Amino acid sequence: MLDKSEKIFVAGHRGMVGNALVRRLESQGFSNLLVRARSKLDLRDESAVAKVFADEKPAVVVLAAAKVGGIKANNDYPVEFLLENLRIQNNVIRSAYENGARKLLFLGSSCIYPKLAPQPIPETALLSGPLEPTNEAYAIAKIAGIKLCQAYAREHGANFISVMPTNLYGPNDNFDLETSHVLAALLRKAHEAKTQNDSELIVWGSGKTRREFLHVDDLASACALLLEQYDSPEIINVGFGEDISIRELAELICDVVAFDGELTWDKNKPDGTPRKLLDVTKLRALGWKPSIPLREGIARTYEWFLANYAR
Ligand code: GFB
C-alpha cells in the first residue's frame, strides 16, 4: 500500500501517460507528487538525474518518460529510439535504487513481444522469438529496462515492477501525422478531411492488421492499482481485452467524426506486427477491468482534440 503523503516522482508528467497518471493519483488523494519539466531536468543527463534524486529522495517512482512514436517514427529513427530510451531508463532506475526508492513502476510496451507471438499474448512470450523489425530498437530498449528492474530485484531485493501497456490513446496524444500512432493520426485526418470537404482519407497499410486500444485513463487506473497491490518483478500486461482491424478502426473514427468520404489505402506504408492483443488474465485476477469502451474513448479524445489541438 502507498501512503497518501509519500513522495511520488512521476517522470514524464507532460506526456500522455504521465499526465494521466498525475491526474489519477491526485484524484485518489496523493498529495506529494514530484514532477520536473523537461526544461528543468533532462532525463538523458545522468548527473542531472542523480542530483534531483539525491536532493528529493522520492519514495516511489513512476517512469512514464520515454521517446515514443508510431510505426513510421520507430522505423525511421532506430538510433534515437534505442539510445534515448536506454539513457532515460538507465539514469532513472539506477538513481531510484541508489537513493532508496522503495518502489518503482517501469512502463514498457506490447511491442516487446515477438512479431508472431501467440494471441492473446501472455507475459511468458517475452524473448521467445524474433521481434517486429519496424520497432525493434524501441523494443530492445524496453526489454533492457525490464531486465534492469528485474536485476535490481534479484540482486538487491528492490521492489521495481514492469507494466506492459497495449496501444494507448487519449488526451495529450501526439497528433503529428509523421510521428503519431494510428488512432490519433486517423482522428486528425478524418477531422481535416471533413472540414476541407475532401472525398477521401488516406490510411496506411492494408487495413488487415489488428490492434488493441486502451484509453490512457484506464491505463492510469491500472497503474494506480499496481502501485498499491503488485510487488512482483514479473512483467504484467495492461490491455483492453479486445482488438479491432485497422479498417474497422478507420470506419469507427470516420463515424465518430462524421466524415463520410472514402478510405484509400497506402500500401507503400508498413503494416507492422499482424496482430497485437494482450492476455490480461493476470491483471483481471487482481480485480481490474477497463471502464472506457472504444467508441466512447474515441469520442472523448475527439472532444479533447477539438478543444486543444484543432483550435
Ligand atoms: O499505431 P501505429 O503507428 O503503431 O500503427 P504499431 C498501427 C497500424 O496502423 C499499422 C496502420 O499497421 C499502420 O500501418 N496505420 C494506418 C497508421 N494509418 C496510419 C496512420 O495514418 N498513422 C499511423 N501511425 N499508422 C507502434 C510501435 O507500432 O506501437 C511502437 O512502432 C509502440 O514501438 C506502439 O509499440 C504502441 O502498433 O504498429
User: What gap in Å lies between CA 256 and CA 68, rounded to an integer?
Assistant: 26
Check pLDDT > 90 for residue 195.
yes
The bridge status of strand 210-211 relative to strand 244-245 is: antiparallel
Ligand 1 nearest atom to the CA of residue 73, by list position:
31
Q: Is the pTM of this model over 0.75?
A: yes
pLDDT at 66: 98
pLDDT at 30 over 90: yes
Q: What is the pLDDT of residues 87-106, one digit of tens each?
A: 999 999 999 999 999 999 99
Q: Render pLDDT for 136-148 as a digit per residue (tens, 0 to 9).
A: 999 999 999 999 9
- Give the pLDDT score at 1: 85
Domain boundaries defined on the chain: 8-173+213-242+276-293
Look up the CATH number of domain 8-173+213-242+276-293.
Answer: 3.40.50.720
State the pLDDT at residue 163. 98
CA-110 nearest atom, ligand 1:
35
User: Ligand 1: residues whose CB is within 6 Å?
Assistant: 70-72, 74, 109, 111, 134-135, 138, 167, 180-182, 185-186, 203-205, 209, 211, 246, 269-272
Atom 15 of ligand 1: nearest residue by CA position: 204
Angstrom CA distances, 207 to 1, 115, 202, 247, 267, stand at 44, 17, 11, 5, 9
Report which residue type is found at 67: K
* pLDDT score of 311 more than 80: no
Name residues whose C-beta falls within 8 Å of residue 40's C-beta, 6 or more positions apart in sequence: none
Q: What is the mean pLDDT of the chain?
A: 98
